[in-house]
Amino acid sequence: MQEYDEVVLRCFLENQGQLFPEPVAETLEEAEAFLEEVMAIVVNSPKEVWEYFDEQGVDIEGADEDEILSADEIFDLKDGRYLIVEG
């Protein structure tokens, strides 16, 4: 089971509007419960984001790293890690 630290939870709370039209969480606890429910993952590099999409069968042919990292499902944690939330 994925563990979500405070950096992950705060980033999701502050930026959830990039993926959802209405807030899905208002507290750190709600954010954690939501991320667990949708099985969001944290990866440690842009390369791992790429590998995740590839493993999921997402068509990333011809996409560059900036396009992948700017997808609505990708939250930049600003510490080298990325949160991937499947809406």
> Does residue 1 lie within any of the structural domains?
no
**Structure token pair of residue 2:** 């994925």
Q: What is the domain range of residue 74?
A: 6-84
pLDDT bin (cut points 50, 70, 90) of residue 13 is: very high
> Does residue 50 lie within any of the structural domains?
yes
pLDDT bin (cut points 50, 70, 90) of residue 86 is: confident
**Structure token pair of residue 66:** 């900036």
Q: How many domains does the chain have?
A: 1
Question: Which secondary-structure segment (H or E) carries 36?
Answer: helix 28-37
Cα 61 to Cα 39: distance, rounded to the nearest angstrom: 25
